[in-house]
Chain A
Amino acid sequence: MKKIGLILCSVVMLLIVISNVCALGITPARRTIDYETGKNSVVPISVLNSDHKNIEVVLMVQGELNKSIKVSPAKLVFEPSEESKTFEYKLDLPSGLTPGLHTAEVVALEVQTSEGGDFVGATVAVATQVHVNVPYPGKYLDADLNVLNAEQGGVANFIVPIVNRGKLGIGGARALIDVYNLDYEKKASIETDLLEVGAKQRRELSGQWSVDVNPGNYIAKVTLMYDGETLVFEKQFSVGSRSLSIESIFVNNFQLGQIAKLQILVENKWGEEVKGVFANLLVYNHENQVMADVKSSTENIPSLEKKELIAYWDTVGVEEGEYDGKLMVKYGQKSSDKNLVLKVSEDRLDVVGVGYAISPRGGNGVDITMVLLILVVILLVVNLAWFVFFKRINSKSKKARKK
């Protein structure tokens, strides 16, 4: 690790001459691989030059599995016209890795060649992580807990995502979730469904709770039982979380090429004033890059009240068309997000929500497997009916012949 630090430092000191913005991306940010003895993988990775600059990127490997990874090529040179370049790393895993997670990182470090002066400043590097899961002998479950819609008087969903990291399948996994307040007084007990989990498979157990407690913080103690084994863990969650909801977005007197005034109506659903609330609208161009990053001023919203946040979007250079957007209302470390489509025309800006989830259940339709099954059953019944019909005719004709 020290060695890598020294290399990075010397690379920086020797080569970097910085301009005003430098940006670097790598995708995917992580690749998770299930270990198999003698398995070699070749993984393609893309490095992104989103600022379309003349840059050089050096690729380095670090971490526990660094000796098992070979990168090719070791350096990428970008012309301003090149937005992304692909390289490969070859993963040659050693035998005898212990069960569990083993990691490494391939780091792409931007080194800019001298263009404008001798200023030496900071630079950025991005890493694509390599996660190798070595299966445990026997049965082994990894689990987490997500609590959704925990509002007073509502029905909360407890979802326990489980991943079988063992070599053997699990016949049945079920979780018992006990809810405690922060003084460890038990408030509720929820039982999830029972599911089979194949080796390396991911499933989700779920249970529901009619929330009959006051808003606040609670502890969920999860006891996961699978084929005679037990896994116990705890997670804190909130009921009636300090949440703000985005009610509407208005745009009046819009003219393309001018500054648009966005009026974002936000409701505080929490029992206390929420301080330091602001809206952040991201507008994406057709290459899915952020073309506008607009922030409103910061406001305090009193308990159970609505307030308008005002943000201004400079539309100079924006063309007519449909753009994806993401509106985030931020407060403290939290954020309420809404995906949008902005339909921009010369004198009109329509903001519509996208990807609306229909809740709680939506989309009527019979499963295709069920449709095919019904057809097979109908065919069987028809055949059976024909069979009975002919048997009767045959027996009648036999009787007639005897007579």
Chain B
Amino acid sequence: MKVNKKLVISQLLFVVLALSFVFFMYPRTSYVVSGNVVLFDSGNVNVIMISKDSGFANPIYYDLTESGRIRLDPGHYYWKPINGFIKGFAGEFEIDSNAALSLDRGENETSLVNVGNVKLNVTKQGTSLVGHIVLDPSDSDVVEDKGVYTGGQAE
């Protein structure tokens, strides 16, 4: 009976020590998504593994020692923190897409600018002409200063 008590105590001790080890060594970080940027607090993490696939089939590894800011295209992402000892549980975040158009009037011409973060398919309505323009983010095109230019995500 005495020996059994020792056994239970030693096993409990082992479990407590093992869990404490995991607790202290576990890579901890928090993040904030702002526009296209994910800002990771480095904590005790030096690498972040990011993938579009929940199975992390083709992940990209980001070094947090330079900067915790990671600029990504819109989409749903899965991530894991790594600190050299342990690769943590998977988390996920979303970079929201933003369709945005700006009409800049200069002295001689008017430009339509894609000020969002996705490729836009722009259609023109409201005049006799109906046209299509495809604009990448931050790209612009000179347009006629008439009608309505409607931008929606391309592809």
Question: A residues near B, CB below 8 A?
Answer: 4-5, 8-9, 11-13, 18, 20-30, 48, 50-51, 105, 107, 109, 121-129, 157, 159, 161, 193, 195, 201-206, 280, 282, 284, 288, 290, 293, 324, 326, 328, 335, 339, 341, 352-359, 361-368, 371-372, 375, 378-379, 382-383, 386, 390, 393
Are B55 and A12 in touch, CB under 8 angstroms?
A: no
Q: For the complex, what is the distance from the CA of A288 to the CA of B34, rounded to whole Å? A: 7
Q: A125-B149, A362-B63 are in contact. List 6 more A-B contacts (CB 8 A).
A: A4-B125, A28-B74, A121-B146, A341-B67, A354-B69, A379-B11
Q: For the complex, what is the distance from the CA of A24 to the CA of B100, rounded to whole Å? A: 5
- Distance (whole angstroms) from the CB of A85 to the closest CB of chain B: 14
Are A356 and B102 in touch, CB under 8 angstroms?
A: no
Are A124 and B47 in touch, CB under 8 angstroms?
A: no
Q: For the complex, what is the distance from the CA of A195 to the CA of B3, rounded to whole Å? A: 50
- Which one of B27, B61, B144 has the greatest number of beta carbons of chain A within 10 Å? B61
Q: For the complex, what is the distance from the CA of A354 to the CA of B143, rounded to whole Å? A: 36
Contact with A along B54-74 (1 / 0, CB 8 A): 110110111100110111001
Classify chain B: how many residues form its interface, as a range. Answer: 35 or more
> Which A residues are in CB contact (< 8 Å) with B97?
27-30
- Which one of B34, B52, B98 has the greatest number of beta carbons of chain A within 10 Å? B98
Taking a contact as CB atoms closer than 8 A, the residue among B18, B84, B125 that contacts A365 in the complex is B84
Name the CB-closest residue of B to A386.
Answer: B7
Q: For the complex, what is the distance from the CA of A125 to the CA of B112, rounded to whole Å? A: 12
Q: Does B29 contact A (CB under 8 A)?
A: no
> Which B residues are in CB contact (< 8 Å) with A4?
125
Given contacts A5-B126, A12-B126, A157-B58, contact A290 B82 (CB under 8 A): no
Are A48 and B103 in touch, CB under 8 angstroms?
A: no
Are B99 and A128 in touch, CB under 8 angstroms?
A: yes
Q: For the complex, what is the distance from the CA of A159 to the CA of B60, rounded to whole Å? A: 13
Are B99 and A23 in touch, CB under 8 angstroms?
A: no
Are A357 and B110 in touch, CB under 8 angstroms?
A: no
The 10 closest A-B pairs by CB, nearest first: A25-B100, A363-B47, A288-B35, A23-B102, A29-B97, A362-B61, A29-B99, A127-B152, A363-B82, A365-B87
Q: For the complex, what is the distance from the CA of A8 to the CA of B123, rounded to whole Å? A: 12
- Distance (whole angstroms) from the CB of B92 to the closest CB of chain A: 12
Are B126 and A26 in touch, CB under 8 angstroms?
A: no
Are B82 and A355 in touch, CB under 8 angstroms?
A: no
Are A50 and B110 in touch, CB under 8 angstroms?
A: no
> Which B residues are in CB contact (< 8 Å) with A23?
100-103, 115
Are A357 and B61 in touch, CB under 8 angstroms?
A: yes
Q: For the complex, what is the distance from the CA of A356 to the CA of B67, rounded to whole Å? A: 9
Name the CB-closest residue of B to A367.
Answer: B87
> Which B residues are in CB contact (< 8 Å) with A378?
14, 18
Q: Does B37 contact A (CB under 8 A)?
A: yes
Q: For the complex, what is the distance from the CA of A311 to the CA of B137, rounded to whole Å? A: 20
Question: B residues near A, CB below 8 A?
Answer: 3, 7, 11, 14-15, 18, 22, 26-27, 34-37, 46-47, 49, 52-55, 57-58, 60-63, 66-67, 69-71, 74, 82-89, 96-105, 110, 112, 115-116, 118, 125-127, 136, 138, 143-153
Taking a contact as CB atoms closer than 8 A, the residue among B61, B104, B115 that contacts A20 in the complex is B104
Taking a contact as CB atoms closer than 8 A, the residue among B87, B98, B110, B136 that contacts A121 in the complex is B110
Are A9 and B125 in touch, CB under 8 angstroms?
A: yes
Given contacts A204-B52, A282-B138, contact A28 B96 (CB under 8 A): yes
- Distance (whole angstroms) from the CB of A260 to the closest CB of chain B: 20
Are A122 and B115 in touch, CB under 8 angstroms?
A: no
Are B151 and A122 in touch, CB under 8 angstroms?
A: no
> Which B residues are in CB contact (< 8 Å) with A362?
47, 61, 63
> Which B residues are in CB contact (< 8 Å) with A359?
61
- Distance (whole angstroms) from the CB of B150 to the closest CB of chain A: 4
Are A356 and B66 in touch, CB under 8 angstroms?
A: yes
Taking a contact as CB atoms closer than 8 A, the residue among B3, B46, B61, B151 that contacts A124 in the complex is B151
Taking a contact as CB atoms closer than 8 A, the residue among B22, B87, B100, B104 that contacts A126 in the complex is B100
Are B126 and A105 in touch, CB under 8 angstroms?
A: no
Are B57 and A205 in touch, CB under 8 angstroms?
A: yes
- Distance (whole angstroms) from the CB of B62 to the closest CB of chain A: 5
Q: For the complex, what is the distance from the CA of A123 to the CA of B67, rounded to whole Å? A: 40
Given contacts A125-B149, A206-B57, contact A48 B100 (CB under 8 A): yes
Given contacts A25-B98, A28-B98, contact A107 B69 (CB under 8 A): no
